Amino acid sequence: MESDLKRSSRLLNLLRTTLGTLLALIVVITFFTIADNLQSGGGRFATVKNAQNIIVQSATVGVAALGMTIIVVSGGIDLSAGTGMALCAVILAWCLKADYAPGLAITAGILAGGLIGAVNGLLISILRVVPFIVTLGTMTIFLGLSKVIAENRTIRPAPEQVPEWIPQLLNPRIDTPWMLFPAGVWFLIALSIVVAMLLKFTVLGRHITSMGANQRAAWLCGINLFRTRMIVYTLGGLTVGIAGLFQFARLTSANPTSGTGKELLIIASVIIGGGSLNGGRGSILGTLAGALLMQVISSGCTALKLPNPIQEIIIGTIIVAAVTLDQWRQGRVFARYAKK
């Protein structure tokens, strides 16, 4: 349907987008490494131990950002990802506390994610309300549901109800040094490859991209928008469920409010990674780099002993800068097409 030329230029563009984020990541890491080495008593930023910390710390946002990338590429958005994540963690913790088998509890948590994603997709399709508004609503609904399940409290399964391998999923101190990262991080890497392949090399992936680039054209081409949207949001929800598992693995307790605000970090990862809120564009590698970038800045600010407000300002600035650059780039691309 699309010419080889156009496709290759799109691939090239995608590569450029991702490369930009990766280079930004390298620049920021280099900057903090140098600044940290210059300060007295520094030199602990660029260490394997700290790298393990940073990667583990970005895993929860990272895994949910995979699903968010699919959604953003399809031209949608999911503001309920943060509270949805907490809902999944609450369900998981509730099951453990009620003495269900850990495997069952985790399955319930992740499937709950798929379900809330499907609910989002269904509401967007049936009500014909834009995803921003629908998920703004479900964001609060999921928060309320979590509070109902948790009875307004933190659910704390007893230590013997939580098998040790769950916290080990994201424990940067691993027993087997050759693995470098805990199992959760390897799972995230594997899942990223699967999602990237799905977006780039499958018919479904092409449908998702076309739907995001131009919904009307996609419909005219015979793409089943309803089906595609349902798949997109369900997949997004499943990653939110996995993020819920990741969050529980780090906290070993679940609080209804512990996901509030996380949706912004998740969306920011996608945007910094070159995803376009206009749809049709986004890259898994870029998203992961985006999630890492924010955590590197946060960790780097700690290393330089910069106070909280400075960190917040820097991360905000980078988000705005990334989106601005994205628009310039888009402008250039359009200009080039216009000339032809």
Partner 1 sequence: MTRYLIAISLIASSLLFGCGSRPETSQSDDQPATQEPVYRIAVIPMATTDVFWTSVHAGAMQAAEELGNVEIYWEGPLTMNDREGQINIVQNYVAQEVDGIVLAPIDRTALVRYVADAQLSGIPVVVIDSALDDESTTVSFVATDNYHGGELGARTLATSMNNEGDAILLRYTVGQESAVQREQGFLDTMAKEFPNINMLSDNQYSGPTEVDAYNKSMDLLNQFGDRVDGIFVICNRTATGVLQALEEEELVEKVKLIGFDRTSHLVKALEDGKLQALVVQDPINIGYLGVKTMVSHLRGEKVEKRIYTGEYVATKENLDDPKINQLLHPQKVD
| Residues near partner 1 (CB under 8 A) | 16, 19-20, 23-24, 27-28, 31, 35, 39, 41, 44, 47, 49-50, 53, 57, 60, 152-154, 156, 167, 171-173, 247, 250-253, 255, 257-258, 260-261, 295, 298-299, 302-308, 310, 312, 314, 317-318, 321, 325, 328
Give the shortest CB-309-to-partner 1 separation in angstroms. Answer: 9
* Distance from C-alpha of 230 to C-alpha of 117, rounded to nearest angstrom: 8
| Spatial CA neighbour of 199 closest among 292, 274, 298 | 274
Nearer Cβ to partner 1, position 143 or 218? 143
Nearer Cβ to partner 1, position 314 or 333? 314
* Distance from C-alpha of 1 to C-alpha of 203, rounded to nearest angstrom: 12
- In contact, 247 and 89? CB cutoff 8 Å: yes
Give the shortest CB-152-to-partner 1 separation in angstroms. Answer: 7
Give the shortest CB-36-to-partner 1 separation in angstroms. Answer: 9
Which pair of structure tokens corresponds to residue 303?
Answer: 């290393």
Nearer Cβ to partner 1, position 234 or 298? 298
As a dihedral over the C-alpha atoms of residue 301, residue 323, residue 187, residue 246, rounded to 10 degrees, the angle is: 60
Nearer Cβ to partner 1, position 70 or 91? 91
Give the shortest CB-30-to-partner 1 separation in angstroms. Answer: 9
Nearer Cβ to partner 1, position 29 or 230? 29
Give the shortest CB-125-to-partner 1 separation in angstroms. Answer: 33
Concatenating the DSSP letter of every residue in 108-177 gives: HHHHHHHHHHHHHHHHHHHH---HHHHHHHHHHHHHHHHHHHHTTS-B---GGGS-THHHHTT-SS-S-G
Which pair of structure tokens corresponds to residue 96?
Answer: 């453990």
Give the shortest CB-181-to-partner 1 separation in angstroms. Answer: 14
Nearer Cβ to partner 1, position 115 or 297? 297
* Distance from C-alpha of 73 to C-alpha of 49, rounded to nearest angstrom: 34
Nearer Cβ to partner 1, position 7 or 44? 44
Give the shortest CB-55-to-partner 1 separation in angstroms. Answer: 11
- In contact, 257 and 236? CB cutoff 8 Å: no
* Distance from C-alpha of 311 to C-alpha of 294, rounded to nearest angstrom: 10
* Distance from C-alpha of 135 to C-alpha of 142, rounded to nearest angstrom: 10
